[in-house]
Amino acid sequence: MGSDSDAVTRPADTMRERVGETRVKVWFLISANRWLVTGVILAVTYALLLVFHVFGPTEPRQLTATSSITSLFGSMVIAIVTSVTLVLSISQFVLAGEIGPLGEQRERMTNETEFREQVEDAANIGVSPVEPARFLQTLVETAETRARSLNDIIAEGDRPERLEEIAAFTDGLIDHSQTVSDDLTDADFGSFETLLPVLNYNYSWKIFTARTLRDKHAESLSAEADAALEDLIESLRFFGPAREHFKTLYVQWEIINISRGVLYGAMPALAIAGYMMLEFDAAQVTGSVAGISTAYLVVSALYVLTLSPFAVLLAYLLRVLTVMKRTLAIGPFILRETEQLEPVRHEDPSEVRAKER
């Protein structure tokens, strides 16, 4: 079916393209393995220390002073203990949300069961999948199926050319749904393979556009087409609560990973700091490498290793905070300006107020 490409401009299929960020930035913030990002942060820190040593004013004798090394690593002991205490407090907050009386647990179970039953009725299936990725895939496929049904109804109508704008919207929704559904195939919860396709699926824009087009073409829609469009909107509305539920579980999962990573790195970091304070003598480390004092290279490397708990914390928080920022709104709300909204806006607020007067 033909479509007017100027009527509805389909947004980009990925979150990165919609927000205009580079592949490297998105990779670093959310896509990359967090342990790899931790290594990158530590490597960059070590490189900066070497750059400062080469190009900044230096005093070699200060490095061999026992008091300076003791002071440096003594402050690290305090910082590590403080960070571990903070992480344990966050972990207790997560545990507090999971521990509750029988009544609360039963209510949670009832709410989740009722939601699954509603999805099963909408998708016309007996039992919805239990895997998060497959469940989200079911929601996307349900929207795709209903979009195809709406397309067929429009094509079989008396004057389909009057509804080309809606057909263009459903065609784009079908294409995007297929892409997201493929990305969710075999994705395991806990890995970012489940959440990234969900972030790419801009259901808020789809709900807003579908409702706007339904209002705009109310006189041209048959009763059957109007019902099919309402069914499509209903299926898209399921996606919001499901995404928020799995996002909450994912954030809890990541907080647990943060806690474990920081605790794993805390004891080795404390051991290194303790050794540097108690026995290390920089004066016994002689020689140089590429014009840089070997003692400085060793002390800097050991100092960077004591930063590993903070690097783990930073690596995971970068992804968690980025995900939270990209999913702040639930429902048909879009928090950033986008040119794809303009083609479907047929009335501006001033025009609505004028009509009311």
- 191 DSSP β-pair partners: 189
C-alpha span between 247 and 250 (Å, rounded): 5
Strand partners, 289: 292
Q: What is the pLDDT of residue 59?
A: 66
CA angle 133, 136, 137 (to 5 degrees): 85
Residue with tokens 């790195």: 265
Are 136 and 241 within 8 A, CB to CB?
Answer: no
- Residue pair 200/13 in contact (Cβ under 8 Å)? The answer is yes
Predicted local confidence at residue 165, as pLDDT: 85
Q: Which two tokens stand for residue 74?
A: 């003594």
Q: 125, 194 in Cβ contact below 8 A? A: no
Specify whether the CB–CB gap between 229 and 150 falls below 8 A: yes
3-state SS, one letter per residue, for 249-317: HHHHHHHHHHHHHHHHHHHHHHHHHHHHHHCCCHHHCCCEECCEEHHHHHHHHHHHHHCHHHHHHHHHH
DSSP lists the bridge partners of residue 293 as: 288
How confident is the model at residue 18, as a pLDDT?
62
What was the pLDDT predicted at 307?
A: 92
Q: What is the pLDDT of residue 189?
A: 65
**Separate counts of helices (H) and strands (E) for the chain:** 14, 2
Q: Whole-prediction pTM value? A: 0.74
In Å, how far are 83, 97, 127, 201 from 263, measured between CA atoms? Answer: 10, 21, 41, 35
Give the distance between the most distant pair of CA atoms in the chain: 92
The answer to whether the beta carbons of residues 174 and 274 sit under 8 Å apart is no
For each successive 10 residues of the chain (357 residues), what is the average pLDDT? 48 61 80 89 92 76 71 88 85 74 82 88 85 87 91 78 83 89 77 73 86 86 89 88 83 84 89 86 75 82 91 89 75 54 47 39
Exposure of 195 by Cβ count < 10 A (0-12 exposed, 13-18 middle, 19+ buried)?
buried
Strands (E), the chain: 288-289, 292-293
Helix, strand, coil shares of the chain, percent, nearest 5, are: 75, 0, 20
Predicted confidence at residue 296, as pLDDT, reads: 82
189 DSSP β-pair partners? 191
**CA-atom Rg of the chain in angstroms:** 28
- Report the distance separating Cα 167 and Cα 228, nearest Å: 13
